[in-house]
Structure 1
Amino acid sequence: METCIKAGRKALFIVLAVLLTVTAFSPSVMANNGNGNGGQGEGSGEGPKRAVQEVTVLDETNFEVEFDKTYPQGIAIERMIDVSITTSEGEELQPELTNYEVNADNRSEVQVTHDADLSETAGELDVNGVTAAFDFLPEEEEPAGPTIADVRGEELETEQTLTGTVTAHFEEGGQTNMYVQDETAAILVRGSGLGDSYNIGDKVTFTGELNEFRDMIQLLVEDSELVEASHGLIEPEMVDASFFDQEMDDVQAKLIEIEDVSVLDNVGFNDFNAEDGAGNDFLVLGQFSDVMENTSYDSIVGVVNYHFNELKLMPRNNDDLIEDASVTRPVRAAPETGQVAAGTKVTLSSATEEAEIYYTLDGSEPSEEAELYTEPIVIDEAVTVKAVAVSDGLEPSEVREFTYTIQPEAGDVQIYDIQGSSHISPYEDTAVREVPGIVTHTENSAFYFQSEESDGDVNTSEGIFVYLPNHGVSTGDEVHVSGTVTEWEEDGFDGNDDLTTTQITGSEVQVVSEGNDLPDPIVIGEDRDIPEELVADPESYDIYDPDTFDAENNALDFYESLEGMLVEIPGQVTVTGPQKYDELTVISEEWDVENRTDSGGVYLEESEFDAELNTEIMFVNAPRNTVAKTGDYFEEAVTGVMSYNFGNFKLEPVDGGFPELMDGGNERRDETTIDFEEDKLTVATYNVENYYPGVSSEKTERLANSMANELDAPDIITLVEVMDNDGTTDSGNTEADESYQTLIDEIRDQGGPQYAFTDVAPVDGMDGGIPGGNIRVGHIYRTDRVELADDSTADATEAVQIGENGELSHGTGFIDPENEAFQNSRKPVVSEFIFKGESVYVIGNHWNSKRGDLAPYGMEQPPVQGSREQRMEIAEVVGGFVEELNQKADDPNVVVLGDFNDFPWSPPVETMVEMGDLYNAIYELPRSEQYTYNYNGSSQSLDSIVVSEHLQSGLDVDAMAINSEFMETHGRASDHDPIMVQLEVPDIDPDYDMGDVTPPEITFVDDELNENPRIEMTAGEEFTVPEVTAVDDVDGDITDQVEVTNNVDPDSAGTYTVRYEAADEAGNRGQLTLTVVVQSDADALEELANGSFEEWEDGLPVGWYGEASNTAMSRVNQSDDSFDGEYAVQLERDNTSHQRFTTEAYRMEEGAVYEVTFQVKGTGEIRNAMYAPGYHGNNYSNYSGYTVLEDSDWQEVTWEYEAPGNGEAEIIFSVRNTSGEHLLVDQVEVEKE
């Protein structure tokens, strides 16, 4: 019986074992939503009932389940649970369970392994309806420094460091505006060469000064470092127009996208009104994209720019303008097309999510049959990537092409390789690394350096300019420079098509060694000779073709081949024109230039081609406010580096390369070579350079003195560039009667005769020149020597007609003013004068300027003088008028004169001469005296007096070089010299009676004033206008007709004039002037008090901070770091615009020369001037040159000032660019010489 029971148990166990084995390998039945057979936390209906109570995710492939009961032995896990995974991206996963293990200590807990690797993902794991969250995303690195939001909140003008990802960059003003963003905010960073160093998607750290430009916060970059190339493109934030209503820090510089945009209209420049889908307004800035008005866009992407006080969405390029959202967005590449280092990885992407990218590298068009982009493309050789993006449900994108070349290896490229034998570098837009050379000259944000050895090719330069702010190098350093080669268009005139300067926009400089000898300079005239012609063969020359580049025969190429190099002009070096724009024009006496003026200048010679210049004349940059005139000279050589701007190559002197300038002895003439003769007529032309009553009194006095005394009062003076009464004020007024009368009155004051004037007021704004000025040509004439044949004047649009016998329809009028030849130019004015009974026709001219002519040293060769075409048309009109006059009158006496803006040999002037049977009087002078103007160092004649051929007999000529060779400080009154002729007019009546032409005589009742018409008084004293009498030789006593103009302010120091005038019945005007000097009761200037800054009150030094001070009082501080004594004054101005700190007012004495000496130290720039109310036109004298200090010890500065009159003056200290301890000033002393 027992045996049977044992056998039965054995059979039962076998059956159970089989059943368990079968059920263990049976597939589990998955219920909807992972809920087993529908019960919460239950598995399939075929397994034992167990409820899931808790799920814990252990790692990327394991999780733990806790059941409500022990896990049944031998039951497969798939029978017990249903598992699903949902990622944070919305992806649904059904993982396969690959293993499980029951916890031996607690059999209700089971660890399960699955095949879905959850690395770098986040989401939710669902087990029978019980969920557990997981997050295996890579942890964001904590920023190394403050966030962008932190930096935006910092104080301006402080140094900050930030890290962010580049979203956009643009080149503006020679620097890169780069937009950078992190998780907190965005910001604009600005610096040189950033666009060449970093690409969109790069993660970069920037250090610089936090600043703002028109309320746009920006970081002015001083240093930067790449953290990670192609870190990842930041996707734009999807917003609507209400985004712009947020706080500035939440908006500025961010990359955003607005959908359903309607661009309405262009409101000016690149601004467009736009609306979003809800009708909210905003502005789109189309500065870098082709935004179209009246256009709908599915969306627009861009960065937010705060531009002219308004927030604007600024698309980065045309890809940001999405007109059709049904098309896959095009492929983007980072880095973009360009030169890259070997091994660079190029990342492709599309703004369309989940788009697939296909590409080719063999130049073929990509399709879905091409290579699928799955990882960055490694660039090891020059290649063109063509790529297309495709996406389900959308049209494929357009094909994009990205071309890459490989950067040269570090140190392989030399400066002469970069410069090449051409005007455009063969390495343009190429990144170069570790280019070697020696620093030859430094500037604030740049430096020049030069190869130690030459390549022996005269066509290539061994020097180059490097733009790199905060470079930190010094002259003599051996350096290795890395950066991008660019062709930079320097400052220049509009439309001149200037040459470009080959430069390296630096990204890095390494100092290898210091204190090295500089390369030997190229000595002009010894090592190299300047070609005489700009281009020897202009017809076949191509500035873009290196094969036509010839530095030995073309002056244009000669100077280009020296670009950036050390160059020496051997002494003696002579100045050929007055200093202008802080530049000198010079030649070396060792070059034996033949076309010289008597004063040491160089005159311009006729050229076969349009490019009329003296190639030997070189420009030298001079220290600010250098005083120089034609003929001054340097005894020693001038040495510098060759630069270029405003259409000319210019030598920038290096340290010690600008020796002492010597006075060449050239002096203004004070009298004409023409002797007055009663029966001869003198006629002059004088360009008075934008004259009107508002110019400085010095200019009026100088012009009047020239006419009354130096020219000996010519009978007729044709004045050029007379402006209307209110000058540059655009009031609509065109009358110039006050302009003429102011000058005429001053001529009388200077001892000259009585003049009258005649002109035609032009149509407002139609004759060119300074806007509002209405410049014109007019005549002033001596009323005691000549008279108008007819007092009538034609209006501005009425042409003077010539009668059958040569009589004019009006005494004064324009020649054919409606002719298109005179568009935006002055109309010739003709007047018929009577000299001793004979008619003389005087035609005044001011032909259109040379504005628009191309610079000789420019990209377009040969340079075209486009303005000459209009002058040719004018010449034909004037020549035709004289031709008609010759036909109708019997040998008319014609004088055509003025500023022709062209040379005597020029086709326009010669055409007029030939048509009118005329003769150019300037040819009567020796060749070395035929000039009235100086341009770019060449003495030349733009002014001429052309007369009827029969007047050549007895002709005398004088071109008075009293202006063009000099600066204002030498007495210059205009930029042109006057030129005068004396004529033997045929058939005159020596006894011709002009009637009453003698003006009344006005005299003081007090005889002492007649001997010395001057009164001196002290401010505050009473002043009474002295009495006078007036007697006329015909009308008798006319004292009751005297008019008095009195501007004397007896309470204010200064020099004043009382003017007495009276007119007789014939219209002759007599005048008398009295000078009244009101002396200041202030201390004399040489008695300056508290110049040692020992006395202080209310935070300011006693006796300082005068009326002209404009620096903030908080920037004037007491310092105990003194030169001598206890205190000095500290002046602070830490930007590039200067501010003034002045003394209180002191008394100055007319003609006295004051020497001001002071001690200064610190870091910054300082210069001086004098504030003298009533003088210098605007009350401020010319400034001295800046003294630049760099953390210096005390040094002494001295400058001089000549008082223009009696009055009061304040000494000005002008400072800028200070830093550190700023500038300390002490021991100010004044000595009257």
Structure 2
Amino acid sequence: MTSYIPPALRGRRARLIALSVALPVGIAGSLVALPLTAQATPSADAVIAEVYGGGGNSGATLTHDFIELGNAGGAAFDLTGWSVQYLSGSPGATTKWSVTPLSGAIPAGGSYLIQQAKGTGGTDALPTPDATGTIAMSASSGTVALVHSTTALTCLTADDCAADAGIKDLVGFGTAVVRETSPATGADNTHSVTRDAKLTDTDNNSVDLSGATPSPRNSAGEGGGTAPGDGDPSPTPSPTNTTPGDVRIHDIQGKTRISPYVGQSVTNVPGVVTAVRSTGTSRGFWIQDTKPDNDPATSEAVFVFTGTTTPQVKVGDSVLVSARVVEYYPGGQASGVQSLTELSGATTVVLSSGNELPAPVVITAKTVPDKYAPKVKGGGNIEALPLKPTKYALDWFEAHEGMRLQIGDSRVVGASNSYGETWVTTKPKQNATPRGGTIYKSYDDVNSGRLKLISLTGDQITANVGDTLTGTSTGVLDYSNYGGYVLQTTTLGKVKSAGLKAEVAKKGKSDELSVATYNVENLAPANAQSKFDRLAEGIVTNLAAPDVVSLEEIQDNSGATNDGTVAADKTLAKFIAAIKAKGGPSYEWRSIDPEDGKDGGQPGGNIRNVFLFNPQRVSFVDRPGGDATTPVKVVTTTTKDKKGKVVKTEVSLSASPARINPTSTAWNSSRKPLVGEFTFRGQQVFVVGNHFNSKGGDQPLHSANQPPVLSSETQRVAQSKEVHAFVSDLLAKDKQAKIVVLGDLNDYPFSKPLDTLTKGKVLTDLIDTLPKNERYSYVYDGNSQTLDHILVSPAIKKPGYEVVHINAEFADQASDHDPQVVRIK
């Protein structure tokens, strides 16, 4: 996508279930599995059994955070000299572990409860704790370790923690960097991450623990849950009361996004099972009321969450469900997402089977409103606002949460990905692109017709943008942190190909300098040769072998291995060889090696910007002095006649290649711009290659806050100011300077960073010269949008410019970005 996004940031129930495997942006995009895994020998006795950081938070019942230990062994486990320790999910260089010393023992086959910090809410105290600490844990992401010491750990990476013999067990959850294999998912204000009753320990947190209703249990056996070794919970007893309760599903869902019954228990809620999710770590089933009310603002369906337990119901069963009402925030409430109303900790009574399902709501082009979301003046949370399903798309979907929906023939606007997701539009005329997508034109025009599809039954389709999903697709409406509302399909249409073809750029004339930008998505020597070959084919054939190519996301020689390597000569040698093998030129390259771990991206990868250039067409002006921390300067050289009169002024760079103000805080944990001085047919051309910080951390379009908070934008504005200052200085000393600023700027043409970069008309963003429905280089969540840009200075007249669509619209991609090229006379 835009920069590295760990898989855990994209994990959510919809994906886990659809694939029956763990994990999942895109806030999203480019995904590479982290190699960092903290692993110890699987324990036969003491383990961390449950972690809950939502105590006292919004929607929580319990007042305190807690950690529960379990002992699967046949003897008591002595905790003298032991501690539990906590680390934030994304530790920095100065982050410290928090320590709670322990005493006593975990009984054989028993539990041990450690109470942690108290929140401001909640109503229920924990059972009497066996130990007490003051650690305020995150509800959604963090790491807990059981340590044979009371001295704080010093490891801050999974590899380092794996090498620490003092750590007996370790649980990373949410998006935790330090974890065993993969982090556990499902934690939030109302869910802990919990092992099964057998205390299974495979050294993979995502397999061993899953989201569940918190059930703290102390060494005396007081509290909820099942003691270790007791096996599976007993079957639901035969019902003695089969009378539907007074509370119906539409009462639970209510007329706002938050249930009026949140945190309360409801009894014998009636409904018919419409779909079952029986795989993955987030199992459950949907029920829908067959006797709806007449209020369009209240949904008639709800999801019953069973965690890792396979539901013992079938589609068509008429059931009564008794459970606690919770609001589940996929990815954690702090991410700004909306919640999903659920029934948790359920007891289910089956009254009859084989019942007819409620008819699905049929979505046509006119069903969902054109306006996307209500707005709060000055920004703010919309959860308490009354739903207006006839006015806003987000309200319409919320008012149909969990219900059966059906779509007919629908155009694909987001290609199928490896997670089984495909985006379609229910509004075929809404901001259509010439190639079949849906253009994202502004913050106020979000394309309300987009809908993500995932198959509940395991059906797989492969579709490109512009293809048509024919026939009917029916399913239940779910919600996830990535993409928002998703149709979990029980029947899926067939793909009719539109024959989408990869584009080929015009070949530059002999007197035209061609300059391209291409994000090659974490390219490293260990990548398959086929990736190198496809990227090379893109440069040689589709981009017509540009004279200069500015590359983003070139990794170091060891790729994602975090071993201190920063050089990337092997990566580039392999890539250049692949280009030559495809009939391309023998490119040379220039770059600046980053400081280890200082440029963001995939941990250990040390991604950087690189210039490739064809020495048969263009010369690179090498000037010494460029390194990771030295800022480039614009140097003026004057020539005077015999009388001392200035007759000629020349500008140059103090170093080439070099970096723009690399020690500025604007570039913290982000790539630094690469500046180079080229000569083409005797003329100077200055090229600035960029890869601004990612949009990670921004709230999604479907956020509970409207408009969403774009927290990452602040840094990109600062980065734009740095580049703008450099360009302005260069133009002040030579207003005829030919400057090309290009790369993955990770933002839209209508954004503050691009406004900052073009301020004073020092640069023209060439994407703005295209027709509005062609301004895209990237497809995310069904929106065709622009993150990559080429900008030029005023001295560059009538440039030839193209976005070359070869990746973003296709299910089979070499990168998630489309390259761009400009031709300059």
TM-score > 0.5, shorter chain as reference: yes
| Match of residue 664, structure 1, among 480, 484, 498 | 498
Structure 1 runs not aligned, ≥5 long: 1-172, 175-211, 221-243, 278-283, 292-299, 314-350, 352-406, 985-1233
- Residue 757 of structure 1 aligns to a residue whose secondary structure is strand
The reply on whether 1:967 has 2:781 as its aligned counterpart is no
Are the equivalent residues in 2 in contact too, given 1:270–1:285 (CA < 8 A)? no
Name the residue aligned to 1:877: 722
Name the residue aligned to 1:416: 250
Are the equivalent residues in 2 in contact too, given 1:648–1:857 (CA < 8 A)? yes
Distance in 2, Cα, partners of 1:675 & 1:309: 63
The reply on whether 1:634 has 2:469 as its aligned counterpart is yes
Cα deviation 1:337-369 (Å, max 9, x = unaligned): xxxxxxxxxxxxxx9xxxxxxxxxxxxxxxxxx
Name the residue aligned to 1:607: 443
Name the residue aligned to 1:980: 821
Name the residue aligned to 2:481: 646
Deviation at 1:426, TM superposition (A): 0.6
Are the equivalent residues in 1 in contact too, given 2:466–2:500 (CA < 8 A)? yes
**Residue type at the aligned position of 1:288:** Q
| Match of residue 314, structure 2, among 463, 469, 474 | 474
Q: Label 1:447 to 1:896 Cα distance change in 2 as closer, same or farther (>3 A).
A: same
Name the residue aligned to 2:750: 905
- Residue 415 of structure 2 aligns to a residue whose secondary structure is coil
Are the equivalent residues in 2 in contact too, given 1:574–1:586 (CA < 8 A)? yes
Q: Label 1:734 to 1:587 Cα distance change in 2 as closer, same or farther (>3 A).
A: same
Cα deviation 1:246-293 (Å, max 9, x = unaligned): 9933437xxx9x9xx99999697675345679xxxxxx97743359xx
Q: Label 1:540 to 1:756 Cα distance change in 2 as closer, same or farther (>3 A).
A: closer
Distance in 1, Cα, partners of 2:76 & 2:508: 79
Q: Label 1:470 to 1:745 Cα distance change in 2 as closer, same or farther (>3 A).
A: closer
Deviation at 1:599, TM superposition (A): 1.9
The reply on whether 1:798 has 2:630 as its aligned counterpart is yes
Name the residue aligned to 1:302: 130
- Residue 434 of structure 1 aligns to a residue whose secondary structure is strand
Are the equivalent residues in 2 in contact too, given 1:471–1:509 (CA < 8 A)? no
Cα deviation 1:468-505 (Å, max 9, x = unaligned): 44543221222222222111233x37952322211112
Deviation at 1:625, TM superposition (A): 5.5
Name the residue aligned to 1:787: 619
- Residue 446 of structure 1 aligns to a residue whose secondary structure is strand
Distance in 2, Cα, partners of 1:470 & 1:778: 50
Distance in 1, Cα, partners of 2:429 & 2:314: 37
Name the residue aligned to 1:199: none
Are the equivalent residues in 1 in contact too, given 2:379–2:707 (CA < 8 A)? no
Q: Label 1:418 to 1:739 Cα distance change in 2 as closer, same or farther (>3 A).
A: same
Higher relative contact order (CA 8 A, sep 6+): 2
Name the residue aligned to 1:248: 73
Q: Label 1:536 to 1:636 Cα distance change in 2 as closer, same or farther (>3 A).
A: farther
Name the residue aligned to 1:866: 711
- Residue 839 of structure 1 aligns to a residue whose secondary structure is strand
Are the equivalent residues in 1 in contact too, given 2:472–2:493 (CA < 8 A)? yes
What pairs up with 1:1036-1055 in 2 under 5 angstroms?
Answer: none
Q: Label 1:578 to 1:931 Cα distance change in 2 as closer, same or farther (>3 A).
A: farther
Deviation at 1:728, TM superposition (A): 1.1
Deviation at 1:302, TM superposition (A): 2.5
Distance in 1, Cα, partners of 2:760 & 2:651: 17
Deviation at 1:584, TM superposition (A): 0.9
Distance in 2, Cα, partners of 1:883 & 1:463: 58
Q: Percent identity?
A: 32
| Match of residue 520, structure 2, among 688, 702, 717 | 688
Deviation at 1:914, TM superposition (A): 2.1
Deviation at 1:793, TM superposition (A): 5.0
Deviation at 1:512, TM superposition (A): 2.4
| Structure (1 or 2) with the larger CA radius of gyration | 1
**Residue type at the aligned position of 2:265:** A
Are the equivalent residues in 2 in contact too, given 1:531–1:558 (CA < 8 A)? no
Are the equivalent residues in 1 in contact too, given 2:44–2:73 (CA < 8 A)? no
The reply on whether 1:917 has 2:736 as its aligned counterpart is no
| Match of residue 619, structure 1, among 437, 452, 477 | 452
What pairs up with 1:50-65 in 2 under 5 angstroms?
Answer: none
- Residue 693 of structure 1 aligns to a residue whose secondary structure is coil
Name the residue aligned to 2:790: 945
- Residue 818 of structure 1 aligns to a residue whose secondary structure is coil
The reply on whether 1:288 has 2:108 as its aligned counterpart is no
**Residue type at the aligned position of 2:514:** T
- Residue 477 of structure 2 aligns to a residue whose secondary structure is strand
Deviation at 1:923, TM superposition (A): 2.5
What pairs up with 1:844-863 in 2 under 5 angstroms?
Answer: 844-863=689-708
Name the residue aligned to 1:436: 270
Cα deviation 1:560-610 (Å, max 9, x = unaligned): 11111011123234343342422111113xx343311122111111125xx
Name the residue aligned to 2:551: 719
Mean CA deviation greater in 830-839 or 557-566: 557-566
Name the residue aligned to 1:957: 801
Deviation at 1:853, TM superposition (A): 0.3
Q: Label 1:957 to 1:263 Cα distance change in 2 as closer, same or farther (>3 A).
A: closer
- Residue 651 of structure 2 aligns to a residue whose secondary structure is coil
Name the residue aligned to 2:191: none
Deviation at 1:613, TM superposition (A): 3.1
Name the residue aligned to 1:1066: none
Name the residue aligned to 1:1025: none
Distance in 2, Cα, partners of 1:914 & 1:925: 20
Q: Label 1:408 to 1:897 Cα distance change in 2 as closer, same or farther (>3 A).
A: farther
Name the residue aligned to 2:660: 815
Q: Label 1:799 to 1:262 Cα distance change in 2 as closer, same or farther (>3 A).
A: closer
Mean CA deviation greater in 448-457 or 552-561: 552-561
Distance in 2, Cα, partners of 1:933 & 1:477: 44
Are the equivalent residues in 1 in contact too, given 2:411–2:428 (CA < 8 A)? no
Are the equivalent residues in 2 in contact too, given 1:463–1:563 (CA < 8 A)? yes
Q: Label 1:544 to 1:975 Cα distance change in 2 as closer, same or farther (>3 A).
A: closer
| Match of residue 770, structure 1, among 602, 615, 622 | 602
Cα root mean square deviation, aligned: 3.6
Name the residue aligned to 2:214: none
**Residue type at the aligned position of 2:730:** L
What pairs up with 1:193-208 in 2 under 5 angstroms?
Answer: none
- Residue 618 of structure 1 aligns to a residue whose secondary structure is strand
Distance in 1, Cα, partners of 2:75 & 2:802: 73
Deviation at 1:916, TM superposition (A): 5.7
Deviation at 1:929, TM superposition (A): 2.2
Q: Label 1:483 to 1:285 Cα distance change in 2 as closer, same or farther (>3 A).
A: closer
Are the equivalent residues in 2 in contact too, given 1:566–1:640 (CA < 8 A)? yes
Q: Label 1:247 to 1:956 Cα distance change in 2 as closer, same or farther (>3 A).
A: closer
**Residue type at the aligned position of 1:431:** S
Q: Name whichever structure is richer in strand by fraction.
A: 1
What pairs up with 1:36-435 in 2 under 5 angstroms?
Answer: 214-216=43-45, 248-251=73-76, 272-274=100-102, 287-290=114-117, 302=130, 411-435=245-269
**Residue type at the aligned position of 2:668:** Q
TM-score (normalised: structure 1): 0.48
State the aligned residue count.
Answer: 625
**Residue type at the aligned position of 1:289:** Q
Distance in 1, Cα, partners of 2:701 & 2:586: 46
The reply on whether 1:585 has 2:423 as its aligned counterpart is yes
Q: Label 1:751 to 1:470 Cα distance change in 2 as closer, same or farther (>3 A).
A: closer
Deviation at 1:933, TM superposition (A): 0.7
Deviation at 1:536, TM superposition (A): 4.5
- Residue 272 of structure 2 aligns to a residue whose secondary structure is strand
Distance in 2, Cα, partners of 1:479 & 1:812: 69
Deviation at 1:790, TM superposition (A): 2.8
Deviation at 1:701, TM superposition (A): 0.5
Cα deviation 1:527-549 (Å, max 9, x = unaligned): 83234232245547643424x43
Are the equivalent residues in 2 in contact too, given 1:536–1:554 (CA < 8 A)? no
Deviation at 1:647, TM superposition (A): 3.7
